[in-house]
Amino acid sequence: IANTPASEVEIIIEEQPKHRIRIRGLVSERIFKIGCFDLWTEVSTDIGSNKVRFNDELINQSEYPQEYQIIYHANFGPPILEAAAKFVGPVKEVFPLNDYASQGLSGFDTYLEPTRDYGEQVYCMRMSADNQKRTTVMLHNAAGNQGVAMHYDTFTLPAFNLWKNTDTVSDGYVTGLEPATGFPFNRSVERENNRVRRLDPKEAVRFLVDVEVLSNASEVGAT
């Protein structure tokens, strides 16, 4: 569904201060005997704000229950990503996706400089959350004076994946912070571990993810 164009698009600018700007679109997934979903996806921000909100509603338009999975794959690179940059979060469980990732498990939360033949390392996590099931994760640079935070709901997005790809700059010096319904194994593995979710006929689920730009040491420290 991520590669399907929207069939309807709206741009809404709210008249009341803070004059929130909302861009929303309807993306439909239709696969014979497999999927019949509508996704209302919305990106919004207040004028002058340092936050962007992703507010998505997934609707099962089938007459049958349907499985779904979702990963919010947010890529970040320089200048936040650099040698000794750090991932911070209330991690209560972490394990490597494969044997190669296990080699870097002791330093899963720190980053190298651009490194030839680095490959990819993925770490699967679960986060602690507050009484409203909300949690926050952060990536900040080595000096701790620039960063980005993601705030999301662990009830609808109970898993988190950290994708590290600190290869050469021309081949993708980047990391992915990924709130998700599950981990990036084959769906059969996810199903066996009860991580593939289902929606009943005409049922809907909503996902809220806020991305916040942190532009100084005070904002990084507060986060």
Q: What is the DSSP letter of 195?
A: -
Alpha helices in the chain (DSSP H): 99-102, 187-192, 217-222
Mean pLDDT across 72-99:
97
The reported pTM is 0.93
Per-residue pLDDT of 151-167, as tens digits, reads: 999 999 999 999 999 99
pLDDT of residue 3: 86
* pLDDT at 121 > cutoff 90: yes
pLDDT of residue 180: 98
Q: What is the DSSP letter of 170?
A: G
Quickly list DSSP for 92-129: EEEEESSHHHHTTGGGTTB-PSS-TT---EEEEEEE--
